[in-house]
Amino acid sequence: QAKDLGLSYLVIDQSDLGGTVRKYPRNKLTMTQPIELPFAGRLSRTQYTKEELLGIWEEIIRKARIEIRAKVSLIGLDRQADETFVATTSDGSINCRYVVLALGRRGTPRRLGVPGEESEHVLYQLTDAASYTGKNVLIVGGGDSAIEAATALAVQPGNRVTLSYRRHAFFRIKQRNEERITRFQSEGRIRVLFNSQVKSIEEGSAIVVVGEKDEAQAVTVPADSVFILAGGEPPYPLLKKFGKIGRAHV
């Protein structure tokens, strides 16, 4: 929109083009609504695959020659005497008159803070389930992303999938995901550990405490790969600081 209006602008993104959508599993359907986009016209469908949506965005960026700096994080923002801002980023400083925050809800992937989490076989996104076969896989989380990853991995040949969730049941997930995870449980394709928390991660396994308080027991879960899909941490301290700087311009 800024480009279409002839404004001087710059876009920075701490991840790659596409943000959360790029991290979706291959061929995942994304939900949208009919929308009019500058340089693209109307997107009238309500469903696009991940690859289709990314392709549309990439074509718009190419045609409009939109300037985006990927893998650049916003670190700080200082208001100047002339009412402009200096934005401090991981790639230097940027002078600007206005700042638009389009951060989404994902934030930085939430970490467990347990021993072994720094291991190479611990991941925070699943890009291609088909690349994992014949593996013991542990999924940590109970939202739509975790369930979709678990079911996608469970249909790959030879995989043995365990899902660890800290609550006693799934909440606020899409109906189709609830139906699918329930069916996979009943068929023995996914082992679900409710009321559980990962305490440590080792090479080829993880220690998971299952149960509440006095009844809790530590079990060893085979895990060649561990996917931590427990949501994200929004940058609340940074946002609070921005609020004090002046909402009229941010």
* Residue-by-residue DSSP string for 33-92: --EEETTTEEE--SEEEHHHHHHHHHHHHHHHT--EEET--EEEEEE-TTS-EEEEETTE
| Cα–Cα distance for residue pair 209/225, rounded to 1 Å | 18
List per-residue pLDDT tens for the chain, 250 residues long.
Answer: 888 889 999 999 887 777 767 766 667 777 677 888 877 788 888 888 888 888 888 888 888 888 889 889 888 888 899 989 999 999 999 999 999 988 766 667 889 999 999 998 999 988 788 889 999 999 999 999 999 999 999 999 999 999 999 999 999 899 999 999 999 999 999 999 999 999 999 999 999 999 988 889 999 999 999 999 998 877 777 777 777 665 545 5
Q: Which of 169, 152, 157, 161 is nearest to 189 (CA)?
A: 161
The pLDDT value recorded for residue 247 is: 52
User: DSSP H helical segments within 112-174, as ranges?
Assistant: 144-154
Q: What six digits make up the tokens of 119? A: 């291991």
